Amino acid sequence: MINSNDVQTTIIRNKLLGRWAAKKLGITGQDADTYADALARGTVDPKRSDVFSKIRKDFDAASVVQSDEEILHVMTELMLKAGKLMPTAKGGSPDAAAVMLARNLMSR
């Protein structure tokens, strides 16, 4: 059974990862938000859930120099950060906006 907290944490991680990758790709403003949202939405779509491959492909196409190890390290760091943004007790959240983001992206 899939834990909804795990899914929400991954959605938040992918949103943060999308923002990081967009910056590396030189994508700014609304386009950066759109890129990050697409990665986050891909979390719940098995056909688009491989965010590492998506970022690797985009970096290669744009000649962004970033090793696989560096991308995986960032993914790990952002997963830890996303986990800290999740509620720690019923009704409590250090960042309610992040949780709402995850819920909104899951409903799209």
| pLDDT tens readout for residues 88-103 | 544 444 445 555 565 5
| CA 100 – CA 14 distance, rounded (Å) | 15
Ranges of each domain in the chain: 4-107
Tokens 């998506």 sit on residue: 54
pTM reported for the whole predicted model: 0.75
- Supply 100's token pair: 């709402």
Domain 4-107 has CATH 1.10.1760: no
Each residue's pLDDT tens digit, 21-73: 999 999 999 999 999 999 888 877 666 678 999 999 999 999 999 999 999 99
